[in-house]
Amino acid sequence: MITREMLVHYNELNFKKKEIESQLDELKKVFNQYFDITIGKNTKGEMIISDYKLQRQVRTTEKYEQEATVHRLEELNLTDLIQKKPDEAKIKSALSLGLLKDEDLEGCKTINTTQAIYVKHLESK
């Protein structure tokens, strides 16, 4: 059974969560600025104050820009390094124009569903 008290409690916790996340973001910003000034941007580091250790890890991810990379690989005659992908925008256009039917792509589409819960306090008038 869902009660009003449960909704009130959820709403209060959610508000506190947002406040805490905001404060954590501010502290992270200060910590990162400190490390940027003392050891340099995008450099890992650590410091110990009393019985606490503050550490900054730096993670780097690389992605190849799709269009430029495909073009360059074609110029280098390395087309076996290129993966073909369906163009979803063109597929939707073809469906809306009637050039393609949903049945033509049966078994080709996956649908992912996620659930979200929102609780909002409604002010009485």
Find, among 74, 73, 107, 105, the residue nearest to 92 by Cα. Answer: 105
**pLDDT of amino acid 15:** 95
What letter would DSSP give residue 52? Answer: E
Over 80: is that where the pLDDT of 124 sits?
no
**pLDDT of amino acid 117:** 64
Higher-pLDDT residue of 115 and 92 is: 92
- The average pLDDT across 13-19 equals 96
**pLDDT of amino acid 123:** 82
pTM (whole model) above 0.75: no
Vertex 20 angle, CA 15 and 24, to 5°: 150
Distances (CA, A) of 6 to 1, 15, 18, 51: 10, 14, 18, 39
Higher-pLDDT residue of 74 and 115 is: 74
Q: What is the pLDDT of residues 63-110, one digit of tens each?
A: 888 889 988 999 999 888 888 888 899 999 999 999 989 899 888 888
What pLDDT band is residue 119 in, cutting at 50, 70 and 90?
low
Q: What is the pLDDT of residues 32-50, one digit of tens each?
A: 999 999 999 989 999 999 8
